[in-house]
Amino acid sequence: MSLAQTLTRADDALLDRVFQPIADRFGGKPDAFDIGMSLQIGAIVFLLAADLALLAVNRLGWAGAAWDALSAACGVWFYRVMQAWRGMVREGHANPLRALYRPLRLLALFYALFSVWQFAMAAPADRTAMLFDAASNITFVAGMYFIACDRRPRLRKTAPAPAPASPWHATNPT
């Protein structure tokens, strides 16, 4: 089995065994796409919080600020693109974003794991900023996986058939 096949299987397993069951438990209100989009906004907020933490300890230079501003702008752009593509994800059909964004999910997953390692190895003065950065990356990855979940058809609640008032009033075929 090649590396690409192994990564595809791992991505499918993570999606089908972790995120899809969580999305199914919500019952469609909110649906997995809404949860994923909320997590995308959360990732941008965590990124900005990391910048504020770096500013607080005077560890953010112009280059880092410009890079993070560009990252936040890309996050907002990605959010807008996902909102525009929301119509592609239909109830009861396979989610086309599942295969389309597989490479991005895998890349973001490895980057999130790297940011957790960076947090673990960070100097004490940088730990708060690195915690927010790791939280931003993990939140982004979780949002990507929820966006890739299929929209299952909602179970429609039907009213039970009314019971007869008493056994004396039941219809008798005789």
For residue 36 the two structure tokens come to 């994923």
Query: Sorting pLDDT into bands at 50, 70 and 90, what band is 170?
Result: low
163 located within any domain: no
Under DSSP, the state recorded for 28 is: T
Cα→Cα distances 40→33, 45, 76, Å:
10, 9, 9
Q: Are 63 and 55 in contact (CB under 8 A)?
A: no
The pLDDT of residue 106 is above 90: yes
The pLDDT of residue 168 is above 90: no
42 located within any domain: yes
How confident is the model over 28-41, as a mean pLDDT? 91
Cα→Cα distances 37→17, 25, 75, 105, Å:
20, 18, 11, 14
Can you give the pTM of this predicted structure?
A: 0.83
How confident is the model over 129-135, as a mean pLDDT? 94
111 located within any domain: yes
Cα→Cα distances 173→103, 164, 170, Å:
66, 15, 10
Select the more confidently predicted residue: 20 or 165: 20
11 located within any domain: no
Q: What is the pLDDT of residues 50-86, one digit of tens each?
A: 988 888 888 888 888 889 889 999 999 999 999 999 9
- Cα separation, 121 vs 103, in Å, equals 27
The pLDDT of residue 167 is above 80: no
Q: Are 111 and 39 in contact (CB under 8 A)?
A: no
14 located within any domain: no
23 located within any domain: no
pLDDT value of position 76: 94
Report whether the peptide linkage leading into residue 124 is cis, meaning its omega lies within 30 degrees of zero: no
- Cα separation, 152 vs 19, in Å, equals 13
How confident is the model over 140-167, as a mean pLDDT? 77
Domain hosting 114: range is 34-153
How confident is the model over 127-131, as a mean pLDDT? 92
- Cα separation, 6 vs 88, in Å, equals 27
3 located within any domain: no
21 located within any domain: no
Q: How many domains does the chain have?
A: 1
The pLDDT of residue 110 is above 80: yes
